[in-house]
Structure 1
Amino acid sequence: MKTILIIEDEEGISRVLAAYLKRAGYAPVRASTGGEALAQFESQDPALVLLDIMLPDLDGLELLSRIRLQSACPIIMLSARDAIGDRLAGLDGGADDYMSKPFVPEEVVARVNAVLRRRPHWTDRECRRLYGNLVIDFSAKEVLVNGAKVALGPRELSLLLFLAERPGRTFTREQLIEQVWGMDYDGSDRAVDLSIKRLRQSLSHWSAGAGEIRTLRGMGYQFWLKE
């Protein structure tokens, strides 16, 4: 049963979300402050986080930033603020989705299902693979080169995990957007190119010849490994 961490200071909303998530087969855990949320996040290892922006002790965007420093766990922002600037701040900060209050609990559950469907490897994968001096831990969502942890943004990490699970297969930009970021992604498909570029830069010390993220002109991208 997957754990969902609900970070919400309004007791009524938190209780209702927990009830609907439990009914949908999840194990909800609740936190009402940023400090409590960080402690719960470390101890519970949730599959997904529902994060309210307005918390009594810590701004939700700051909490988002702190979580992203240690994890690429999927995060859905919840907020009474619906200004485009707030939405962009949340999404640019690494959130996977953004929902404005008031919302229907059934839609929140549907969004949770959708995010976890397109990113099942965050919790379902329990393995550690070696590719030369590159190590990908699918369980801890960590990437190491020469034993040192590589800091990747959520989009770059999600792309790497997706491609590394399917070595040798070629995917177009459109397929990567659909499979990794979801059909509700509304940015340019050129964002895939930018994420691939950043990923290659982050893996610049990966042993030459062990493997690479290849561009097949007119076809797409693949995670290539030396035979």
Structure 2
Amino acid sequence: MAKILIVEDEFAISQVLKAYLKKVGYDVMQCFNGGQALTVFQECQPDLVLLDIMLPEKNGWRVLEEIRDTSSCPIIMLTALGDVNYRLEGFDQGADDYIAKPFIADEVVARVKAVLRRAKGNHSAVEKKFGGLEIDTKAHRVLLNGEEIILTPRDLSVLLFLAEHPNQTFTRDQLIEQVWGWEYDGSDRAVDLAVKRLRKALTDWDETDGEIKTLRGLGYQLSVPKR
């Protein structure tokens, strides 16, 4: 079973989450301090992180940023801040999901399963090549001009889906339904942020080989030359 790291300074909340996650078979580790989170993460190499925002010494945004510097491990943010702007900030920095407190522990378990399922993926084994961009949907590996591009599971899932349907346009709602599933509970602006990060990661992709195009009023597509 997958390893889950809980980074939460409220001991009671952390213990409840640990109990529910262990009940369904996950291996659970805990950290109660933002200042120690990166060290614990590197030591235990979890498959997913539940990360609180309000932490002592170092807040969750900083921890998220530090993890994203070296890893695409799925991260679900936990916070009492209900404002959608905080949710978008987390997605923009590379979070994979967001759960606002107070929450039901069973819901957290369900969201953990959903994010891990997305990270693992269920794509058929297909290798796509668009000029200098190579996408292996089985290995979930992306190369640009021979160099591997590290993407978060959320962004990678969008790119994999678009690559499997080149020159087809999808609305935000269609991407949410097809890529993240309707259990996703967040603003459709998260799609825009994922595309923004993908474009940044693919800055060196020759535009004659393709691009992620916005069709105003319609949606997004991976636009590539028809050969």
Could you state the TM-score of these two structures normalised by the residue count of structure 2?
0.71
Equivalent residues in 2 for 1:104-183, closer than 5 Å: 104-121=104-121, 131=129, 133-136=132-135, 143-150=142-149, 155-164=154-163, 166=164, 170=168, 172-173=170-171, 174-183=173-182
Corresponding residue of 2:44? 44
Answer yes or no: is the 8 Å Cα contact 2:119–2:153 preserved in 1.
no
- 1:196 deviates by 4.6
- 1:15 deviates by 1.9
Answer yes or no: is the 8 Å Cα contact 1:118–1:179 preserved in 2.
no
> How many corresponding residue pairs?
220
- 1:198 deviates by 5.8
- Larger CA deviation: 76-85 vs 6-15: 76-85
Q: Aligned partners of 1:103 and 1:197: how far apart in 2?
A: 30
Answer yes or no: is the 8 Å Cα contact 1:74–1:115 preserved in 2.
yes
| AA at the equivalent of 1:144 | L
Structure-2 change in CA distance of 1:70 and 1:146 (3 Å): same
Corresponding residue of 2:98? 98
* CA displacement, residues 198-227 of structure 1 (integer Å, 9 cap, x when unaligned): 635643544688x64576x87973586988
| AA at the equivalent of 1:33 | N
Corresponding residue of 2:12? 12
Corresponding residue of 1:63? 63
Q: Aligned partners of 1:32 and 1:114: how far apart in 2?
A: 25
Answer yes or no: is the 8 Å Cα contact 2:6–2:49 preserved in 1.
yes
Answer yes or no: is the 8 Å Cα contact 2:119–2:154 preserved in 1.
no
| AA at the equivalent of 1:53 | I
- Larger CA deviation: 53-62 vs 81-90: 81-90
Corresponding residue of 2:187? 186
CA-based RMSD of the aligned residues comes to 3.9
- Larger CA deviation: 17-26 vs 153-162: 153-162
* CA displacement, residues 113-140 of structure 1 (integer Å, 9 cap, x when unaligned): 232334433xx89x99684644557799
Structure-2 change in CA distance of 1:78 and 1:185 (3 Å): closer
| AA at the equivalent of 1:159 | V
| AA at the equivalent of 1:179 | Q
Identical residues among aligned pairs (%): 47
